[in-house]
């Protein structure tokens, strides 16, 4: 089943509880922000020009510096950095969804922390 771009944007906030990382080809990047709600996406459209978001792209994740955006005309998903350079592209919403993953956090090895640098004592 192919996800339509408008349906994708209306449900993207549901990814927050299911995914915490994203495959960028062979590399995996942690997701540190929440996917935006439909209301946040609509409010963002009013701010796009201020943040130099190229016309035709709809941001749906990020901190306004690095952003994931949907090209609603083509259905492609793009990852842009603060300079609005293209970091990665997925040819469709379905390809983007397939790149989302859940990565378990690695426990901190206390032996790897140099003595004297552990300043939080619980």
Q: Into how many domains does the chain fold? A: 1
**The model scores a pTM over 0.85:** no
Query: What DSSP character marks residue 112?
Result: G
Is 99 a member of any domain?
yes
Q: Is the residue at 119 inside a domain?
A: no
How many Å apart are CA 39 and CA 108, to the nearest integer? 37
Distance set, CA 21 to CA 28, 96, 101, 102, 106 (Å): 7, 12, 5, 6, 14
Inter-residue contact 35 to 51 (CB < 8 Å): no
CA distance 52 to 64: 10
User: Looking at residues 106-117, what average pLDDT do you find?
Assistant: 64
Tell me if 107 sits within 8 A of 100, measured CB to CB.
Answer: no
Other CB atoms within a 10 A radius of the CB of residue 103 amount to: 13
- Per the structure, the complete domain to which residue 39 belongs is given by 5-104
Confidence of residue 4 (pLDDT cuts 50, 70, 90): confident
Reference 22, options 35, 39, 5; nearest CA is 35
* Region 68-94 average pLDDT: 96
Query: 23-44: per-residue pLDDT in tens?
Result: 999 999 999 999 999 999 999 9
User: What's the Cα-to-Cα distance from 42 to each of 7, 65, 83, 91, rounded to whole Å?
Assistant: 14, 18, 23, 23
Confirm whether 117 is domain-assigned: no
Q: How far apart are CA 95 and CA 76, in angstroms?
A: 9
Reading the block at residue 105, the tokens are 């956090």
| N residues, the chain | 122
């Amino acid at each position: 089943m192919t996800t339509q771009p408008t349906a994708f944007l209306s449900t993207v906030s549901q990814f927050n509880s299911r995914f915490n990382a994203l495959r960028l080809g062979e590399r995996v990047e942690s997701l540190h922000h929440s996917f935006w709600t439909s209301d946040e996406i609509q409010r963002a459209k009013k701010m796009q020009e201020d943040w130099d978001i190229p016309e035709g792209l709809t941001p749906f994740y990020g901190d306004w510096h690095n952003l994931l955006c949907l090209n609603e005309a083509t259905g492609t998903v793009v990852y842009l950095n603060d300079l609005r350079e293209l970091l990665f592209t997925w040819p469709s919403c379905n390809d983007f969804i397939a790149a989302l993953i859940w990565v378990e956090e690695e426990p901190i090895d206390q032996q790897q922390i140099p003595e004297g640098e552990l300043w939080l004592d619980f």
